[in-house]
Structure 1
Amino acid sequence: MHEYYPAAPAPKGELVAADGQKVTVAQLYRFRPVLLQFSRHMGCVFCIDHAKQLLKHYEMLKRHGLDVALVIMGGAPEAQEFRDRLKLTYPVYGDPDQIVYRAFNVPRGNVWQVAGPQLWWEGLKALSRSGMGCPRGDLMQLGGSYLIDTNGQIVWSFRPASSVDFPNIDEIVVAADTLSPIADA
């Protein structure tokens, strides 16, 4: 479910860029607000599909004043491989020990939430649209979306109830526009 915060400070933490450089979370929102998107495991069909949806809407999100940063559970090589395989133009960062996931309190799920029969139909549709990878990482980890302004405040978030849940792009745009309204060109 999405949440509008009365602005809460973004947790600190360090990620690894696809090129192996260490990057603090604070560096991600230093110049522009950032949509910090946490992915599930590397093979999650829903996460692959969502990453492609973010790519499809990336230029529009930038017009609305947002940067996008995707966080995965791997290290630099996995971040680079994920970015290359999906042809993503926004950065992918690794958090191999899930330290930043825990700092942001990204939810974990149970078997019903990550693989229950109620998800199978949506999983087949995502698989047909985007394919899947090899499951690597914490299979019970859910995703999460956090909009952080340039003051380091989380002003909006989306915490999923299951592995199929991701925020609608329109919700992200509305949240971004509360920071600085920019007309979609």
Structure 2
Amino acid sequence: MTHYASSIPAPQVNLIAEDGQQVPLAHLYAQRPLLLQFSRHLGCVFCVDHAKQLLKHYETFAKHNLGVALVIMGKADEAKKFREALKLTFPVYADPDQSVYQAFEVPRGNVWQVAGPHLWWEGLQALKRSGIGRPRGDLMQLSGTYLIDTNGQIVWNYRPSSSAEFPNVDEILVAADTLSPIADA
């Protein structure tokens, strides 16, 4: 489900980089708008598949002056392993206690939303494209996608109603194209 937000400040939080250092979220959107993607648990076939889709479209995002960052609920070394395993060219940050997920109010689901029969076919397709991982983390956590402008405002977000849902790349680009790449003077 897509939501357009106006003037909703992004939480002032820190993410954990692959080297274990804390990085203020504000540093990630200081120079250009940021597409911030929260993943589900580390073994989620939908999330691995979506990370690969973000990689596939990464150059397009960059042409639209949009930075990309992925947040996982693992530790710093797991963020590094995840990025390296998928050969991602954008940063992956850790949030082991899900405090950043909570600050952004990334939704949690129920059994029907994360593993219901209506998801099985899509799950098999994602499995064929991207393989499977060992589930680690909060299995009920859903994903979330947020577009943050250079003024630190969440201007667009996508909160899925199931584990298989992610925003369409074109929707992201339309929202990104409405932003000024430079903070208001």
Does TM-score exceed 0.5, indicating one fold? yes
The match for 2:87 is 87
Q: Structure 1: any 5+ residue segments left out of the alignment?
A: none
Q: Matched residues in 1 for 2:171 and 2:74: separation?
A: 28
Give percent identity, aligned residues only.
Answer: 72
- Alignment partner, residue 51 of structure 2: 51
Query: Deviations for 1:87-133, whole angstroms, at most 9, x for unmatched residues?
Result: 10000000000000000000000000000000000000000001121
Structure 1 segments (4+ residues) deviating >6 Å: none
Gaps of 5+ in 2: none
Q: Distance in 1 between matches of 2:174 and 2:43?
A: 30
TM-score when normalising by structure 1: 0.96
Letter of the structure 1 residue corresponding to residue 164 of structure 2:
V
RMSD: 0.9
Tell me if 1:17 matches 2:1.
no
Shift of 1:7: 2.3
Deviation for aligned residue 1:151:
0.2
1:128-143 equivalences in 2 (<5 Å) = 128-143=128-143
The equivalent of 1:109 in structure 2 is 109
Normalised to the residue count of structure 2, the TM-score between the two structures is 0.96
User: 1:65–1:180: 8 Å Cα contact kept in structure 2?
Assistant: no
Q: How far, CA to CA, are the matches of 1:69 and 1:21 in structure 2?
A: 16
In the alignment, is residue 170 of structure 1 matched against residue 183 of structure 2? no
Please give the alpha-carbon distance, in whole angstroms, between the structure 2 residues aligned to 1:87 and 1:11.
Answer: 29
CA distance in 1, matches of 2:111, 2:102: 19
Whether the 8 Å contact between 1:76 and 1:94 is mirrored in structure 2 is yes
